[in-house]
Structure 1
C-alpha cells in the first residue's frame, strides 16, 4: 500500500512537483510531465518517453543527458493524455522533430498517436514507437502485440544515442526499432500492489504461489506456480529468455537487467542475479554492464523481471554510453546545452476565445446541456460500470469515465462563459476529458468530442448533417488511431452502428432528434451483443474467458450516453431539429 498520501486525486501532481524540486538541476516541470533542464540543441531529435505514473524510475527519472529529453506522465497506471504528451513534446522539441516512445498498451498507443497527429499538424516532425519486450504477453509470431515492460530502457537508450549523434528522425526511429527487436523480458510477481488511497490490492497471489507473466499495471500473470527458490526462479527466467533469442543475434554479448518491481529488496535481487549470471555465462554469453535494481516498478508490487538485450557494435555503444538523469547515471557526462528559463517553458496553454457567430454562441448552450447530461448519467452509473469492468479488466472504467466527464463539464462551462462557439465548447470538453481521465477511454472520448466539435465549428448553426458528419469523422478517427475493429469487443462495437445509423437516417431526411434516437437504439442492441464476443484488444484480451457472457464496459457506456443525450437535443438550434 501507499502510506504517504494527502488527497489521492492529487497524488500524481504532488509526486511530480516533489520530484522536480529534488532534481531541479536536471529537469524542469511542464504541463503533463518534465523536460531536461537544458534546451534540446538545434539539429537534434527530441526523445520523449512516457506512460502512467507509479513506475519510478520510469518515466521521469530517465530524463536527462544521454537519455530522454522529456517524459509525459499520466495518472497512476493510466496513459498520459494526448494533451499532456503534446505539451511535453512541444517543450522538448527542436527543429528536427520528436520521437515519442512508450510501452505497447492500448491507452498509450492511442494517446501518443493522437499527440503525434497534433504535432505533425503544427509542422513538427514526429513519429511514435511502442516497445514490445514482454514475451509473456503474446506469442513470438505476434511480437508486435506484446507489452512493453522493463525493456523500455534499452529502446530509450538506443533512441537517445542516435538523437545525440544528430541522426534524422527516421534514423532515430529505425535504431529504436532495432533495439526493440533485440530486447526480451520476462517477469513474475509474488503479490499485487495497491493504488494510492485504495484499500485493496489490484490482485493477490495465494501464499506459497507465484504469478508468471504479470504486467506492470497490476495485471495478473497468465498462470500461477508454486513459489520456487531463488536459484530455481533464476533458471526459469533464463531458460524462457534463451528460448526467445532473436533472429540474427549472432554476438554472444548481451546487456542484462534484473529489475525489482517495488518490494523485492536489492540484497534479494543480488542473490537472484548470482544464479542468473552463472547460467548466462554457462550458456556462452558475455554480460555487458549488468543493471540490477529498480528500473521499472509497480508501486509496492513484489516481483522481478529479467531483460536480455542482444548486442551488436552499435547497440553496445548505446547500452554503455554515458547518461546523467535523476535515477540513472552511467559513465558521467557533463551537462550540455543552453539553460532553460521560465519563459522558454511557458508553452501556449492560454485559452483564447476564437471568433464565433451569434448562432454558434447560441448553440453553445445546447452543447453544454449535452455535456451536463453525459456527466449526470455517468455519475449515476459509475459504480455499475466499474463492476462490469472488474470482471475481466482492472475495474477502473467507471472511475475514469466519471473523472473525464466532470472535467469535460467544467471545461464546457468555462468555454460558454467566455463566449465560445458550439464547436469550441465540444473541443474544449474533449480535451479536458482526455487530459483528466487518461487511459484508453479518456483518449477515445476526448478524440470523439474534439472531432465532432471540429466538424461543427463556430460559424454556422448546429444542423443535422454536420452533426452526423462529425460523428462519422469521430468514429473514423477512433478506428484509425485506436486500432480496433468491429468484433474486437470495444467501445467501437456500439459506436460504429450508432454512427452508421445516424448518417443513414439524416441522409434520408429524418430530423436530428428522431435520427439520434434511432441510432441510439441500434447502439444499445450492438452493445448488448458484445456479451457474446471474446475481447481482442486491451487488457481484457488476456482474460477472455472471464469476459464471455458479459458485455463490454466501453460499448455499454457509449450506448448509455448516446441514449441519454437523445433526451437533451431539444436544446439545440431549431435548424438541428
Structure 2
C-alpha cells in the first residue's frame, strides 16, 4: 500500500514534481514527462523512453547522460498518451531525429506508434524499438509478443550509448534492436502490489508460494510453486533463461541484472546473485559488470527478476560505458560539457479557442456534454468492479484508467460546451482529454473513438440516427485498424461491433436516435456478458488466458455500461421533446 498519499488520482503528477525538484541539476519538467537538464547536442539522436508510473527508476530515473534524453510518464501502470510522448520528443529532438523505445505492452504500442506517426508528419525523423525480454509472456517463436521488464535497462543503455557515439537514427535503432534480441528475463513474485489509494492488492500469492513469470504491472504468474531456498531459486531462473539462449548469443560474456521489484531487499538480491554466479560460470559464461538493485519496480511487490544479455564487443562497450542519471550512475560523466536547456512548464498544451456554434448546434453540444457526464458517472460507480475484472488475468488498472479518462473528458466537454461549441467540437475536445489523461490502451482507443465521432458529426446542428450510426461505424473502423482486434479476441470490440451493427440497422429502418441507441446498447450489454466464454488473444490478459475464462472482458463491460448510460440521456431528451 502507499503510506504517503494525498489524492490517488494526482499521485503520479505529484510524485513527478517532487522527483524533478530533487534532481534539478539533471532533469527538467516538460509536458508529458521529463527531459535532461542539458539540451540535446546538434546531430545527436534523442532517445525517448517511457511507460506507466509506479516502476521507478523506470522511467524518469533513467534520464541523463549515457541513457535517455527524455521520458514520457504515464499515470500509474498506464502507458503515456500519444500527446505526452510527442511533447517529450519535441522537447529533446535534434536535427538527427528521435528514437522511441519502451516495453512491449498494448497501450504503450498504441500510443507510441501514434506518436511516431505524428512526429514524422511534423518532419521529425523517428523510429521505434520495443523491448521484449520477458520469456514467460509468450513462446520463443512469438518473441515479438513478449513484454518488456527489467531488460528495458539493457536496451535503453544500448540506445543511449549509440546515440552518444554520433550514430545516425537508423544505426541507433538497429543497435538497440540488437540489444533486445540478445536479452532474456524471468521474474518471480512472493506477494502482489497495491495501487495508490486501493484497499486490496492487485493479486495475491498463497502463503509459502511464489508466482513464476509475473509481470511488473501485477499480471499473475504463469505458474505457482513452493518458495525454494536461494540455491534452488537460482537454478530455476538460470536454467529457464539458458534454455532460451539467443541464436546469435555465441560469445561467453554476458551482462546480468538482478532486479528487485520493491520489497525484496538488497541483501537478499546479493545472496541470490551469489547463488547464480557459479551456475553461469559452469555454463561457460563470464559476467561483465553485474547490476544488482532496483531498476524496474512495482510499488511494494515482493519479487525479483533475472536478466541476461549476451554481449558482443560493441554491446559490451555500451554495457560498461559511463552514465549519470538520478537513479543510475557508472563511470565519470562531465555534466558541464553540454549547454543547459530552458525550463518548460508542465501541463496540457493549449487546444485552441472554441468557436461558438449556432443555437441549435450549441444545444446539441450541451446534449453531448450530458452524455459524457453520464459515462463519467457510471464509471465512477463501477470503477472498483472494472478493476476487479481486470485483475483476474490482467493488471487491474482498467477501472482507474477509465475513471481518469472519463473525468478528464467530462471536464473538457464542459469547457467546450460552456463556450458554445457544437456536438463535434465537444466530442473532439473530450476525446483529446480522455486520451491524454487516461493513457493506456483504453485511453488511446476511447480518445480515438470520441475524436472520430466528433469529426464525423461536426458542428452543423443536431445529428439524427443515420448520421450518428455512420459516425459510430467510422469510430469502430478506426479502433479496429489501430488496435488490430477482431470479434472473438475478448476486447471492447466484441461489444462495439454488435452495437454498431445494430445501430446502423435500426437507423436504416427509420428508427429515431433514442430508440435505436437504446436497443443497440442492449445488444452491446449481451455481447459483453458473452465474452466470459472467450479466451483473450490480445492485450495483457493473453499470457494468462485460461484465468479469464468465465469472466467477461472489462473493456467490453465498460463500453456496454457507457453506451447504456448515454441511452438513458437520449431517452430523457426524447421525452422532453415529445
Q: CA deviation at 1:56?
A: 0.9
CA distance in 2, matches of 1:170, 1:360: 49
CA distance in 2, matches of 1:277, 1:489: 43
Q: CA deviation at 1:354?
A: 4.3
CA distance in 2, matches of 1:512, 1:327: 55
Deviations 1:356-405 (A, max 9, x none): 54254443222212212222333333344344334434444333323321
CA distance in 2, matches of 1:376, 1:199: 21
- Higher mean C-alpha deviation, range 5-14 or range 67-76: 5-14
Partner of 2:543: 542
CA distance in 2, matches of 1:380, 1:274: 50
CA RMSD of aligned residues (A): 2.6
Whether 2:166 is the aligned partner of 1:162: answer: no
Given the superposition, is the C-alpha separation of residues 462 and 127 from structure 1 closer, same or farther in structure 2, using an over 3 Å criterion?
Answer: farther
> Residues 220 and 393 of structure 2 are in contact (CA less than 8 Å); yes or no, is this contact kept in structure 1?
no
Partner of 1:560: 561
Whether 2:294 is the aligned partner of 1:303: answer: no
Structure-to-structure mapping, 1:59-458, within 5 angstroms: 59-335=59-335, 336-342=337-343, 349-355=349-355, 357-358=357-358, 360-458=361-459
Given the superposition, is the C-alpha separation of residues 364 and 127 from structure 1 closer, same or farther in structure 2, using an over 3 Å criterion?
Answer: farther
Given the superposition, is the C-alpha separation of residues 175 and 457 from structure 1 closer, same or farther in structure 2, using an over 3 Å criterion?
Answer: farther
Q: State the TM-score, normalizing by the size of structure 1.
A: 0.92
Q: CA deviation at 1:106?
A: 1.8
CA distance in 1, matches of 2:396, 2:292: 33
- Higher mean C-alpha deviation, range 227-236 or range 243-252: 227-236
Q: CA deviation at 1:270?
A: 1.6
Given the superposition, is the C-alpha separation of residues 376 and 204 from structure 1 closer, same or farther in structure 2, using an over 3 Å criterion?
Answer: closer
CA distance in 2, matches of 1:96, 1:474: 35
> Residues 353 and 420 of structure 1 are in contact (CA less than 8 Å); yes or no, is this contact kept in structure 2?
no
Given the superposition, is the C-alpha separation of residues 194 and 251 from structure 1 closer, same or farther in structure 2, using an over 3 Å criterion?
Answer: same
SS of corresponding position for 1:135: coil
Deviations 1:281-337 (A, max 9, x none): 221112122111111111122221111111112222222222111111122221343
Given the superposition, is the C-alpha separation of residues 377 and 48 from structure 1 closer, same or farther in structure 2, using an over 3 Å criterion?
Answer: same
> Residues 354 and 419 of structure 2 are in contact (CA less than 8 Å); yes or no, is this contact kept in structure 1?
no
SS of corresponding position for 2:185: strand
Paired residues, number = 574
Q: CA deviation at 1:464?
A: 4.7
> Residues 540 and 547 of structure 1 are in contact (CA less than 8 Å); yes or no, is this contact kept in structure 2?
yes
> Residues 256 and 309 of structure 2 are in contact (CA less than 8 Å); yes or no, is this contact kept in structure 1?
yes
Given the superposition, is the C-alpha separation of residues 45 and 470 from structure 1 closer, same or farther in structure 2, using an over 3 Å criterion?
Answer: farther
Whether 2:497 is the aligned partner of 1:496: answer: yes
CA distance in 1, matches of 2:492, 2:220: 23
> Residues 360 and 460 of structure 1 are in contact (CA less than 8 Å); yes or no, is this contact kept in structure 2?
yes
SS of corresponding position for 1:566: helix
Q: CA deviation at 1:465?
A: 5.0
Given the superposition, is the C-alpha separation of residues 405 and 347 from structure 1 closer, same or farther in structure 2, using an over 3 Å criterion?
Answer: closer
CA distance in 1, matches of 2:205, 2:379: 33
CA distance in 2, matches of 1:381, 1:259: 35
Q: CA deviation at 1:271?
A: 1.6
SS of corresponding position for 1:188: strand
Deviations 1:251-294 (A, max 9, x none): 11111111111122222222211221222122111212211111
- Higher mean C-alpha deviation, range 352-361 or range 433-442: 352-361
| Unaligned stretches of 5+ residues in structure 1 | none
Q: CA deviation at 1:70?
A: 0.9
- Higher mean C-alpha deviation, range 30-39 or range 520-529: 520-529
> Residues 90 and 347 of structure 1 are in contact (CA less than 8 Å); yes or no, is this contact kept in structure 2?
no
- Higher mean C-alpha deviation, range 192-201 or range 15-24: 192-201
CA distance in 2, matches of 1:122, 1:460: 33
Given the superposition, is the C-alpha separation of residues 258 and 388 from structure 1 closer, same or farther in structure 2, using an over 3 Å criterion?
Answer: closer
Partner of 2:531: 530
Given the superposition, is the C-alpha separation of residues 267 and 36 from structure 1 closer, same or farther in structure 2, using an over 3 Å criterion?
Answer: same
Q: Which runs of 4+ in 1 moved over 6 A?
A: 570-573
SS of corresponding position for 2:486: coil
CA distance in 1, matches of 2:127, 2:364: 38
SS of corresponding position for 2:244: coil
- Higher mean C-alpha deviation, range 103-112 or range 451-460: 451-460
Given the superposition, is the C-alpha separation of residues 433 and 559 from structure 1 closer, same or farther in structure 2, using an over 3 Å criterion?
Answer: same
Q: CA deviation at 1:510?
A: 5.1
Given the superposition, is the C-alpha separation of residues 355 and 521 from structure 1 closer, same or farther in structure 2, using an over 3 Å criterion?
Answer: same
- Higher mean C-alpha deviation, range 530-539 or range 515-524: 515-524
SS of corresponding position for 2:541: helix
| Unaligned stretches of 5+ residues in structure 2 | none
Given the superposition, is the C-alpha separation of residues 271 and 391 from structure 1 closer, same or farther in structure 2, using an over 3 Å criterion?
Answer: closer
Given the superposition, is the C-alpha separation of residues 115 and 563 from structure 1 closer, same or farther in structure 2, using an over 3 Å criterion?
Answer: same
Structure-to-structure mapping, 1:437-516, within 5 angstroms: 437-458=438-459, 462=463, 464=465, 466-506=467-507, 511-516=512-517
Given the superposition, is the C-alpha separation of residues 392 and 277 from structure 1 closer, same or farther in structure 2, using an over 3 Å criterion?
Answer: closer
Q: CA deviation at 1:59?
A: 0.5
CA distance in 2, matches of 1:533, 1:181: 32
> Residues 211 and 220 of structure 1 are in contact (CA less than 8 Å); yes or no, is this contact kept in structure 2?
yes
